[in-house]
């Protein structure tokens, strides 16, 4: 196709225009697919000549052996722009791989209530002239306790792998019930080399169940301390629910400080919770109220590991309020039975009712008088995993959707779209059969083969574009599209970061029809199933980032509300680089390479901040050429360049958590400039008006 065959209007619309005033059908015809169209048209019509003397950064550098290519990005601030939803930068906190239990939730004691196999898994008994046994005795919502019996000696239980920080205060409790005699009970904390850190009497009174608190300050740092509860003298006592946390964490939402900060650094616009597949069987009513009374909830969906529901509805909403982000609640909607519908709607009422209704009173009794005013609800998750067809799932949406609109009239309802990119049939049928009863279609967008970190992007783009176009021509064109699970799976190396850069730029480009996105997984304990990769990897002490984390953080920090322009692929470089812009309407560039680079330009609503994001997927250097034009450009500005580069198989670790730290430097402000992109690198340019 010759450049002269493309009208200036078509170019402008394809690359910069995206005029909100056009009808959807007109936009569809004029826009086509920018990402595929860009290699032919390059950018919108350039304005005026580009003198080499005023643009030293556009002069081609001497050859260095390899022949780097160039990507060309023309940014015209006078052209119409379209909004980019801040919800593209959401997060997804699923109860999986110890992301919450033995993760974000700050509880240090594992197997706190001795249910299931917890006693033999996490606790060690010891005795001398005494006995330790697991007793079938009910306590709150549990059925098992530990009995300590002493006959002039001592007996107790201990648990290791406790992390203590120097000069930090800890507190907790043990629930106990004296049975006979008057044994002396104490809690002892010892270091990994045997030194005593704390020894605290646990006094008892009467014969009823009682919560006995304790507290201490650690004078040392120890990653493998041990906690033990021991009885001495004569008599017997029952033990149940044991808790130990940093005192400041318990007072402030019961969240582990380092993992909370890691999440806060991502500045999530919303958090989706509690799943994922875990949400499909989540019993919310058993996960509210006093912590010790919530009972045993092993995670049967993801390996059956222990859990006592310490992080439930109120804790999650507290997290969202602390991070100033929206909650997206995924409701369990397993069938059309009245009791299932009632259970789900009770949760909505618990969240949003005034404190005068039954569910509002229940929330208030748990210490939260004011409604949470949740505005985002999802009707289950991946229903195809549970045997649903699009038709039977549409029946679910048509039952639950109207009830949600009645109970939470200001909320947006999310229905489940396709799980796989080639399953357009699922999404199209749900749109046609139930599109009047939901607002957002939430799809999943995984790339499962790490070597496809770039080559998988066009496939994902293609299906999202087809889905967007189907929504436009359907009877329910008001539906928004979301990607509520995305990532490069089966690796946490730098390829995951390169993939994250490409996919986030794609989501920005598909706005405003694509309005929400969140990656999966968010957190994973390194002792858990390694096949599911994550943004944050932790043990009981610290954490390190997966390859996608630093890109998510960098791009979120440089989110801007308006889309301006984008580029994909690279061309053969030429000595007079200004011709890429000056002769954009007639020049025929050569040697275009798909999958070499992507770039996007966005701006703040007030125009005082321009952001350019770029990724070089290849094993050689490339260069991004940029021209800024328009009456709205700032006359003076500060410019900062941030880059991350690594080998594709590079990984962070506990020993080297800073493997992907962005490098920042200042640049001179110019209307024409270039950005040299190292192999396998990501770059962000921020231009901020003085």
The CATH code of the domain that includes 452 is: 3.20.20.80
Same domain, 617 and 484: no
Q: Which stretch of DSSP H or E encloses residue 108?
A: none
The answer as to whether 644 is a domain residue is yes
Q: What is the pLDDT of residues 541-562, one digit of tens each?
A: 999 999 999 999 999 999 999 9
Q: Is pLDDT above 90 for 369?
A: yes
**Closest residue by Cα to residue 673 from 641, 631, 630, 643:** 641
Residue 238's pLDDT band (cuts 50, 70, 90): very high
Here the CATH number for the domain that contains residue 591 is 2.60.40.1180
Q: What is the pLDDT of residue 301?
A: 86
Least confident of 154-158, 564-568, 588-592: 588-592
Q: Which stretch of DSSP H or E encloses residue 363?
A: helix 358-365
Q: Is pLDDT above 50 for 402?
A: yes
Q: What is the mean pLDDT of residues 400-410?
A: 97
Q: Is pLDDT above 50 for 53?
A: no
Q: What is the pLDDT of residue 572?
A: 96
Same domain, 549 and 666: no
The domain tally of the chain equals: 3
Q: Is pLDDT above 90 for 355?
A: yes
Structural tokens at position 671: 């209307």
Q: Which stretch of DSSP H or E encloses residue 200?
A: strand 196-201
423: helix, strand or coil: coil
DSSP state of 286: G
Q: Which stretch of DSSP H or E encloses residue 593?
A: strand 593-603
Structural tokens at position 404: 């949600």
Q: Which stretch of DSSP H or E encloses residue 134?
A: strand 124-135
**Closest residue by Cα to residue 316 from 520, 93, 534:** 93
Same domain, 297 and 391: yes
DSSP per residue, 471-533? HHHSTTTT-EEEEEEEEE-S--SHHHHHHHHHHHHHHHHHTTTEEEE--S-SEEETTS-TTS-
Q: What is the mean pLDDT of residues 393-401?
A: 98
The model carries a pTM of 0.90
The answer as to whether 609 is a domain residue is yes
Degrees to nearest 5, angle at CA 386 with 396 and 446: 100
Q: What is the mean pLDDT of residues 567-580?
A: 95
Same domain, 432 and 577: no
Cβ atoms within 10 Å of 645's Cβ, excluding its own: 18
**Residue that finishes a domain, picked among 540, 557, 574:** 557
Q: What is the pLDDT of residue 30?
A: 34
331: helix, strand or coil: strand
For the chain, how far is it from start to end, CA to CA, in angstroms?
43
| Higher per-residue confidence, 76 vs 38 | 76
Same domain, 316 and 234: no
553: helix, strand or coil: helix
**Residue that finishes a domain, picked among 218, 247, 276:** 247
Q: What is the pLDDT of residue 66?
A: 58
> What span, in angstroms and rounded, lies between the C-alpha atoms of 662 and 22?
40
Q: Is pLDDT above 70 for 16?
A: no
Same domain, 494 and 636: no
Q: Is pLDDT above 90 for 47?
A: no
Same domain, 195 and 297: no
What percent of the chain has a predicted confidence (pLDDT) above 90? Answer: 87
Same domain, 182 and 327: no
The answer as to whether 448 is a domain residue is yes
Same domain, 361 and 235: no
- Domain that includes residue 271, residue range: 87-106+253-557
The answer as to whether 243 is a domain residue is yes
């Amino acid at each position: 196709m010759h450049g002269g065959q493309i009208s200036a209007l078509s170019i402008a619309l394809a690359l910069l225009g995206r005029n909100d005033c056009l009808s959807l059908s007109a936009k569809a015809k004029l826009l086509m697919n920018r990402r595929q169209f860009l290699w032919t048209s390059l950018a919108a019509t350039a304005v005026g000549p580009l003198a080499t003397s005023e643009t030293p950064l556009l002069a081609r550098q001497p050859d260095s052996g390899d022949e780097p290519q160039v990507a060309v990005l023309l940014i015209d601030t006078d052209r119409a722009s379209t909004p980019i939803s801040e919800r593209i930068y959401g997060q997804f906190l699923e109860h999986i791989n110890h992301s919450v239990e033995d993760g974000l939730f700050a509880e240090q004691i594992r197997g706190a209530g001795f249910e299931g196999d917890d006693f033999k898994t996490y606790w060690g008994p010891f005795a001398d002239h005494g006995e330790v046994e697991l007793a079938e005795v009910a306590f709150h919502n549990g059925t098992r306790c530990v009995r300590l019996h002493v006959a002039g000696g001592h007996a107790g239980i201990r648990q290791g792998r406790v992390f203590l920080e120097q000069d930090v205060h800890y507190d907790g409790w043990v629930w106990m019930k004296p049975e006979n005699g008057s044994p002396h009970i104490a809690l002892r904390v010892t270091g990994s080399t045997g030194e005593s850190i704390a020894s605290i009497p646990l006094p008892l009174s009467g014969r009823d169940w009682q919560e006995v608190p304790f507290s201490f300050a650690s004078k040392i740092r120890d990653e493998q301390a041990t906690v033990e509860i021991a009885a001495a003298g004569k008599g017997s006592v029952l033990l149940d629910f044991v808790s130990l946390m940093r005192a400041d964490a318990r007072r402030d939402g019961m969240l582990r400080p380092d993992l909370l900060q890691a999440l806060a650094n991502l500045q999530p616009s919303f958090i989706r919770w509690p799943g994922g597949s875990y949400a499909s069987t989540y019993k919310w009513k058993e996960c509210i109220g006093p912590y010790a009374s919530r009972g045993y909830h092993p995670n049967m969906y993801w390996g059956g590991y222990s859990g006592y529901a310490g992080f439930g509805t109120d804790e999650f909403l507290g997290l969202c309020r602390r991070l100033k982000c929206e909650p997206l609640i995924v409701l369990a909607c397993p069938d059309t039975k009245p009791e299932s519908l009632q259970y789900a709607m009770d949760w909505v009422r618990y969240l949003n009712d005034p404190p005068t209704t039954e569910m509002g009173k229940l929330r208030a009794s748990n210490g939260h008088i004011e409604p949470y005013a949740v505005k985002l609800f999802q009707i289950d998750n991946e229903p195809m995993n549970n045997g649903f067809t699009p038709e039977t799932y549409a029946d679910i949406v048509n039952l639950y959707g109207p009830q949600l609109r009645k109970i939470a009239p200001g909320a947006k309802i999310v229905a489940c779209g396709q799980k796989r990119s080639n399953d357009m049939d699922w999404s199209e049928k749900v749109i046609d059969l139930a599109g009047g009863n939901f607002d957002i279609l939430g799809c999943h967008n995984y790339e499962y083969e790490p070597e496809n970190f770039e080559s998988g992007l066009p496939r994902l783009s293609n299906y999202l574009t087809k889905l967007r176009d189907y929504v436009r021509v359907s009877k329910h064109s008001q539906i928004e599209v979301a990607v509520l699970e995305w990532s490069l799976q089966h690796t946490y190396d730098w390829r995951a970061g390169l993939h994250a850069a490409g996919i986030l730029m794609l989501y920005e480009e598909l706005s405003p029809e694509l309005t929400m996105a969140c990656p999966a997984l968010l957190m994973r304990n390194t002792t858990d199933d390694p096949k599911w990769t994550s943004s944050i990897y932790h043990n009981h002490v610290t954490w390190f980032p997966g390859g996608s984390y630093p890109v998510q953080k960098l791009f979120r920090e440089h989110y801007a509300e308006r889309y301006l322009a984008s580029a994909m692929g690279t061309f053969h470089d030429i000595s007079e680089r200004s011709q890429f812009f000056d002769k954009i309407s007639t020049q025929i560039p050569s040697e275009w390479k798909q999958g070499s680079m992507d770039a996007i330009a966005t701006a703040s609503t007030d125009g005082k901040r321009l952001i350019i994001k770029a990724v070089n997927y290849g094993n050689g250097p490339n260069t991004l050429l940029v021209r800024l034009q328009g009456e709205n450009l700032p006359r003076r500005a500060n410019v900062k360049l941030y880059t991350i580069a690594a080998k594709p198989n590079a990984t962070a670790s506990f020993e080297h958590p800073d493997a992907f730290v962005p490098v920042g430097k200042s640049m001179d402000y110019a209307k024409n400039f270039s950005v040299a992109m190292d192999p396998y690198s990501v770059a962000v340019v921020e231009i901020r008006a003085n």
